[in-house]
Structure 1
Amino acid sequence: MDDPGTGESTTHLTWGNVGLAFSFILLDGFLSTSFGLGVGSSLLTAAVRCVVQLSVVALILQKVFETNNPWAVAGMAFLLNFMGTAETVINKSKKRFDYMFPSVLFGMLGSTIPVSIIGMRFAMSVDPFWKPEQYIPVVGMLCGATISGIVVAVSYALKEIYDNRDKVEMYLAFGASRFEACKPIARDALRLALTPNINQMSVIGIIAIPGMMTGAILGGSSVEQAARLQMVIMFMISSCTALSSIVTTILALGIVVDDEHRVRSDRIDTRPHAVWRARNWVVAKVVETIQSMASTVAGGLKRLVGRRDTEEGSADSSERERLLG
């Protein structure tokens, strides 16, 4: 067995280990079905996505680590932020506003990149800061935490504007600027977005041992160094979540309430995202085509069977006439 002090992992996992762990998901799906929770299919879909996505990311990261090129690292960091933006806008948000994709992308890039660079270079003392095996995992964690904050803040702000626009319009009617009218909404939205992160920092180390610390310990680092690393990561996550949530919320409210101090509910889209509408349209067309083809085939078979019955009936009549004659 390798010496734990060498920093190399002593665990070698195979797909058999992954399959065994997947049985826990199957158990959850069985319990969901038994109790009628209705989350069994979502759970299995998420688990399959997890396997596929992590497998693809592992292949990509292996290539990036081997190249050890700062431009490849920068491209990977941008890709993580871009995919995080797509997940936020397409899958996580039930309500969206005009120009939401570039707004969320700007908020994520404006928080994860500066915080990761400063944190890696100075707080974590990594030189150069862009070492792929260290920088990319940190950016990935920051993106994952940032998504949650943005979704909570923007969803709450849009819901309040859309459902309670009378309150905002009343403030505007009494002479308040659009930012003064939206300030209570923004404050509550940001409070909701930051609360989970505050709660997580409150219980970390006492009730829960976080993943980054666990991974560092399993990788051979000392417990003390793993704890300090987790502290730095948590503070970086908190900063990213706050910055991205503030930027995206301000942009959202600035678009929904225009510069003429009017509430523009028409700029809020409550429909499923265009991607899912396109998918549903394609699925409907495919189903319609299959049904049409099935009807055509069934009609052809019915006519063929009817023609055959007619021919057999004619043959029987001819045979009876010949015998009688």
Structure 2
Amino acid sequence: MDAPGGATSPLSWANVSLAFSFIVFDAVVSLAFGLGVGSGLVTAALRCIGQLSVVALVLQQVFATNNPWAVAGIALLLNLMGTIETVVNKSKKRYAFMFPSVLVGMLGSTIPVSIIGIRFAMAVDPFWKPEQYIPVVGMLCGSTISGIVVSVSYVLKELHDNSDKVQMYLAFGASRFEACKPIAKEALRLALTPNINQMSVLGIIAIPGMMTGAILGGSSVEQAARLQMVIMFMISSCTALSSIATTILALGVIVDNEHRVRPDRIDVRPHAVWRARNYVVGRVVEKAKAAGSRAWKKTRPVITRAEKGGSRGQAETTARREPMTLPYGL
């Protein structure tokens, strides 16, 4: 057994399979009680396995090269993938120019915060060391996705389903900033509540993952605690900055500079990616049904004749096997 604070034992796919069995157990419980969350758990777990496997292969090469341009490319890729995840998968409603707005909000928060935080708060020189910079940017992107989704979803819901208040304020002469300020305040409150709650319970109730990883990696508990403080402050500030930026951009698009609410700029349909997927799947299913129908029409007469021939032959055989009965007395 490894000594406390020493390197952890190497993990194999058997260890991962054992941990995956926990998800399978939860899915079975969900299926037994009809809760409807089992498929989502299993799908997310399988995505996690695939994504982390790919990331491990890519990061291994980036760490080996120790090239700042490769690190910059990974940081941009993480922000781009986070934007796609936010717009395509997480958002039920979208607005015009949402993709560039979310991308600007993520880049404008994760890149400055990561550079300043790693270089000065974490005292890493140079700041772009792959083993330091890439994990931090990944954590910042993951946190900003949650904040942006919550804030923008609330803004779109209010302006699409409950736009009467905003229109009333605008009708009485309020500017679009004054009319939309209550919506923006509530959206940001909802987006930042998870981070505020998480900071409130760190250390006393929960020991976070970064601190646990640092301790398992051999760092002292004091250094691990300070590292977790720095990371947590970076995550919270980055989430707040990205949520504020995307909320303002969303309100600026939906309520135009003529102080009019533009519901036509809100799209409540599934994203074009999923509409295209549904169209392709529908066409494939239709063609498969048509091919099956044609095949059945061709094979049905053959099967019918075979059944009729088999019934006639069985009747003749039965007639031959039955003895002839003569009238009584003959």
How does the TM-score come out when normalised to structure 2?
0.91
Q: 1:226 aligns to what?
A: 224
Asked if 1:144 corresponds to 2:142, the answer is: yes
Q: 1:96 aligns to what?
A: 94
Superposition pairs of residues 139-218 of structure 1, within 5 angstroms: 139-218=137-216
* Contact 2:113–2:234 (8 Å) recurs in 1: yes
Please, which moves more after superposition, 248-257 or 267-276? Answer: 267-276
* Amino acid in the other structure paired with 2:59: L
CA RMSD of aligned residues (A): 1.9
Asked if 1:72 corresponds to 2:62, the answer is: no
Asked if 1:11 corresponds to 2:20, the answer is: no
Q: Distance in 2 between matches of 1:36 and 1:298?
A: 37
Q: 1:237 aligns to what?
A: 235
Q: 2:26 aligns to what?
A: 28
* Amino acid in the other structure paired with 1:221: S
Which secondary structure state, in structure 1, belongs to the residue aligned with residue 92 of structure 2?
Answer: coil
Q: How big is each residue's C-alpha offset from its partner over 1:10-62, in whole Å with a ceiling of 9 and x where there is no partner?
A: 32000000000111001100110111110111111011001000000100111
Asked if 1:303 corresponds to 2:315, the answer is: no
Give, in angstroms, the shift of residue 307 of structure 1. Answer: 6.2
* Amino acid in the other structure paired with 1:165: S
Runs of 4+ with deviation above 4 angstroms: 1-5, 306-313
Q: 1:249 aligns to what?
A: 247
Residues 312 and 51 (structure 1 numbering): CA distance in 2 closer, same or farther, change over 3 Å? closer
Give, in angstroms, the shift of residue 4 of structure 1. Answer: 6.4
Percent identical among aligned pairs is 76
Q: 2:324 aligns to what?
A: none
| Structure 2 residue ranges without an equivalent (≥5) | 312-330
Which secondary structure state, in structure 1, belongs to the residue aligned with residue 204 of structure 2?
Answer: coil
Give, in angstroms, the shift of residue 9 of structure 1. Answer: 2.7
Q: 1:87 aligns to what?
A: 85
* Amino acid in the other structure paired with 2:235: I
Q: Distance in 1 between matches of 2:189 and 2:254?
A: 20
Q: How big is each residue's C-alpha offset from its partner over 1:233-271, in whole Å with a ceiling of 9 and x where there is no partner?
A: 000001100100000000000000111111000111111
How does the TM-score come out when normalised to structure 1?
0.92
Q: Distance in 2 between matches of 1:58 and 1:51?
A: 11
| Structure 1 residue ranges without an equivalent (≥5) | 314-325
* Contact 2:102–2:246 (8 Å) recurs in 1: yes
Larger radius of gyration: 2
* Amino acid in the other structure paired with 1:162: H
Asked if 1:260 corresponds to 2:261, the answer is: no
* Amino acid in the other structure paired with 2:77: L
Q: How big is each residue's C-alpha offset from its partner over 1:168-203, in whole Å with a ceiling of 9 and x where there is no partner?
A: 111111111111110110011011111110100000
Superposition pairs of residues 106-125 of structure 1, within 5 angstroms: 106-125=104-123
Residues 104 and 311 (structure 1 numbering): CA distance in 2 closer, same or farther, change over 3 Å? same
Which secondary structure state, in structure 2, belongs to the residue aligned with residue 206 of structure 1?
Answer: coil
* Amino acid in the other structure paired with 2:257: D
Q: Distance in 2 between matches of 1:3 and 1:180?
A: 61
Aligned residues: 313
Q: Distance in 1 between matches of 2:94 and 2:148?
A: 12
Q: Distance in 2 between matches of 1:243 and 1:277?
A: 32
Q: Distance in 1 between matches of 2:138 and 2:186?
A: 27
Q: Distance in 2 between matches of 1:224 and 1:300?
A: 78
Q: How big is each residue's C-alpha offset from its partner over 1:128-177, in whole Å with a ceiling of 9 and x where there is no partner?
A: 00000110000000000111110111011111111111111111111111
Which secondary structure state, in structure 1, belongs to the residue aligned with residue 147 of structure 2?
Answer: helix
